[in-house]
């Protein structure tokens, strides 16, 4: 009889332990932060690209985004996506297509089949209109870095960053490209967007410059 009571006590203890384990709350999985997009990797939008296309053209009517997809592998091994616009003149007649590099903001005359030419050869391109906007001034990015621009009469500019990096760039409307091809500049509403190496960022014109 004592053996039966002892056995019963052991079973009761085991069942009590199992019940306690069953009632234990389950651990909730830790919430993982949602990754945010890197602002530095943002691509040029359609409206900004359209402005780039029309800015240096004289007698242009509209620039309509086409459904063509264009991606070209650059010298650095990275593929750049392009917008392709069909451009018409003031009378509504098609005059050609323009392709805009969404990474650098550079505009090209698009001949089709992936063939690009300098935008200066586009039928409505006006050199005088292309250089109307002045780049000259001192720009700051809000993080202590500055960019000094001196625009030249012959369609180029000299740039100098606060870390001592300096050089020359070729102008093309609202964009410019450094002589060695490593830096790209986009000017819009007194803000220069720089793409390339450690100087990438947005530099705003300082009022005192």
Burial (CB < 10 A; 0-12, 13-18, 19+), residue 173, is buried
Q: Residue 199's CB: how many other CB atoms inside 10 A?
A: 20
What pLDDT digit, counting tens, does each position of 148-206 carry?
Answer: 999 886 678 999 999 999 999 988 777 888 998 889 998 887 889 998 888 999 999 98
Biggest distance spanned by C-alpha atoms of the chain: 113
CATH 3.20.20.70: does it fit domain 131-205? no
Half-sphere CA count of 122, side-chain side, radius 13 A? 34
Tell me the C-alpha distance between 163 and 201, whole Å.
Answer: 14
Helix (H) or strand (E) holding 4: helix 2-22
Q: Provide the residue-wise pLDDT of the chain in tens; the chain has 209 residues.
A: 444 444 444 444 444 444 444 444 444 333 333 323 333 445 778 887 888 898 889 888 899 999 999 999 877 788 999 999 999 999 999 999 999 998 878 899 999 999 999 999 999 998 877 666 788 899 999 889 999 999 886 678 999 999 999 999 988 777 888 998 889 998 887 889 998 888 999 999 987 76
- Report domain extents, the chain: 40-129, 131-205
- Is beta strand 79-89 parallel, antiparallel or unpaired with respect to 191-195? unpaired
- Is beta strand 201-205 parallel, antiparallel or unpaired with respect to 137-140? antiparallel
Tell me the C-alpha distance between 203 and 81, whole Å.
Answer: 24
Tell me the C-alpha distance between 24 and 55, whole Å.
Answer: 68
Question: Quick one: CA dihedral 55, 59, 65, 67, positive or negative?
Answer: negative
Tell me the C-alpha distance between 7 and 202, whole Å.
Answer: 79
**pTM check: above 0.75:** no
């Amino acid at each position: 009889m004592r053996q039966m009571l002892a056995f019963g006590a052991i079973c009761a203890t085991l069942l009590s332990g199992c019940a306690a384990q069953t009632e234990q709350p389950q651990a909730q999985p830790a919430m993982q932060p949602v990754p945010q997009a890197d602002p530095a990797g943002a691509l040029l939008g359609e409206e900004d690209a359209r402005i780039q296309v029309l800015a240096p053209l004289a007698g242009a009517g509209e620039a309509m985004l086409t459904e063509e997809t264009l991606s070209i592998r650059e010298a650095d091994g990275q593929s750049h996506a392009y917008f392709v616009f069909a451009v018409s003149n003031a009378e509504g007649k098609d005059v050609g297509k323009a392709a805009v590099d969404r990474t650098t903001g550079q505009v090209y005359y698009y001949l089709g089949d992936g063939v690009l030419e300098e935008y200066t050869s586009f039928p409505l391109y006006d050199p005088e209109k292309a250089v109307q906007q002045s780049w000259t001034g001192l720009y700051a990015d809000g993080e202590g870095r500055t960019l000094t621009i001196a625009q030249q009469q012959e369609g180029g500019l000299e740039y100098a960053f606060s870390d001592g990096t300096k050089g020359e760039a070729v102008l093309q409307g609202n964009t410019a490209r450094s002589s060695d091809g490593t830096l790209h500049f986009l000017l819009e509403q007194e803000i220069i967007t720089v793409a390339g190496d450690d100087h990438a960022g947005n530099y705003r014109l300082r009022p005192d410059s």
